[in-house]
Amino acid sequence: MAKNFDVVVIGAGPGGYIAAIRAAQLGLSVACVDAWSDQDGKAAPGGTCTNVGCIPSKALLQSSEHYEQAEKHFEDHGIKVKGLELKLDTLLGRKDKVVKENNQGILFLFKKNKVTFFHGTASFQAKVDAGWSIRVDGKEAEDLIAKHVVVATGSSARELPGVPFDEELILSNDGALRLKDVPKKLGVIGAGVIGLELGSVWRRLGAEVTIFEGAPEFLAAADRDVAKEAFSALTKQGLDIQLGVKVDEVETSGKKVKVEYKDASDKEHKAEFDRLIVSIGRVPNTAGLGAETVGLKLDERGFIEVDDDCLTNLPNVWAVGDVVRGPMLAHKAEDEGVAVAERIAGQQPHVNFDTIPWVIYTSPEMAWVGKTEQELKKEGRDYRAGKFPFMANGRARALGNTTGFVKILADAKTDEVLGVHIVGPTASELIAEAVVIMEFRGAAEDIARICHAHPTLSEAMKEAALAVDKRALNF
């Protein structure tokens, strides 16, 4: 007999599990279905983010940074290390523990908020009088009836044409997070977030890393000043980042990966690696959803078509996160999930795509929100810029990490903050102040007049705001 719910959420990644919890908080009966399993076959909610994305990559970035600090920088602090040894199995075990804690945390939150969880694969069966019939295929098959359905099935790594992932030699983000040894030579195709972060992890642990990027510019979406500073820092650390590369052929031979490519001047090259990470984007997970069964409309790339409220072409069927338009970011999915739950409950929430922050967790970190300087120039917008280097920040000096800067762009007439761009220590945390000020349509002067604790890295934000008016105090 079918079980009835006000809301059935398909997918328990950041968009899905948050949508389920918020809907339950609003008094709706909610079920969440997710197929992800751990190595023991147990439910592992959290989606790509928790299992093979945001969370494990940050755990490895943290561990690898500790290793590199001990290896290269502790002596700067008067700490001499003898007999430094990398225990990769312990490092990876810590990462797995962090992931499992997050999985269990989500299951706890479901129980706390009275969300019914089903471990299995969900698909649309039919439109029925009471809503939508959903089939769950798992250890035990279930039939659910939902008044509303929220699709949050996420995305998967895009393969190179004709070069499938084997997760042994040709790696997606999944395989790149669980290598059993440090490759001597590691190739990476794609200098985006995943390529740079995972390339950084394995470089710190001893790999010789080459990154091939097809675009002629490094991080084209970022402000040019940020991209230039980051490129300089990352290449000095040892990442070999080659731009304007066209990969012609990839083949495996024995335990090696051979890559034939042309550089920016169209000169042909051959390279051989022990492993190759492919990070050329992601594709939406809509296969097996039963979209064609009920007429759920997809675009030519497989994304579910939605309106500004995340409503699909079907009544009471919603979609959020990586499976719809917009940036593939966990926090964007979460905001959409909350908004959809509140719309189902009759509220009128709003998600502002103009203030969604972007972060790359390399060292230095990069974070930005709003317009870049090149975008403002293209629009013909009259603006002022204020920039403050971490080199002039007392806390950054004390940390021994003075790479980078904070840059604030403000309207020349109203002083409204239009964009903030940070490259440097804890940029991922500092960007939150910029998001808040922009959400309230605040001015650079508002940041400049706020008292920031001393000595902190956040003072760089205040100084950059002062610099917009050409009155920085410490530079």
Cα separations (Å) of 322 from 21, 287, 290, 337, 421?
19, 14, 18, 11, 24
CA–CA distance, 269 with 261 (Å, rounded to integer): 5
454 flagged as catalytic: yes
Of the candidates 280, 275, 261, the one whose C-alpha atom is nearest the C-alpha of residue 166 is: 275
CA dihedral 89, 187, 194, 46 (to 10 degrees): -40
| Count helices and strands in the chain by DSSP H and E runs | 14, 21
Q: What are phi and psi of 107, to 5 degrees?
A: -60, -40
How far is 53 from 38, CA to CA, in rounded Å?
Answer: 14
Which value, in Å, is the radius of gyration of the alpha carbons in the chain? 24
Quick one: the chain helix, strand, coil %, rounded to 5?
35, 30, 35
46 Rama sector, left if φ>0, alpha if ψ -120 to 50, beta otherwise? left
Q: How many residues does the chain have?
A: 475
In whole angstroms, give the CA distance from residue 247 to residue 268: 10
Element spanning 117, H or E: strand 116-128
**Do strands 116-128 and 268-273 pair parallel, antiparallel, or not at all (unpaired)?**
unpaired
Which contiguous run of DSSP H or E holds residue 277?
strand 275-278
Which of left, alpha, beta for 99 (phi over 0: left; psi -120 to 50: alpha)?
A: alpha
CA 231, 236, 240, 243 torsion-angle sign: positive
Of 66, 73, 269, 454, which is the active-site residue?
A: 454
Cβ atoms of 210 and 240 closer than 8 Å: yes
Residues annotated catalytic, as ranges:
454
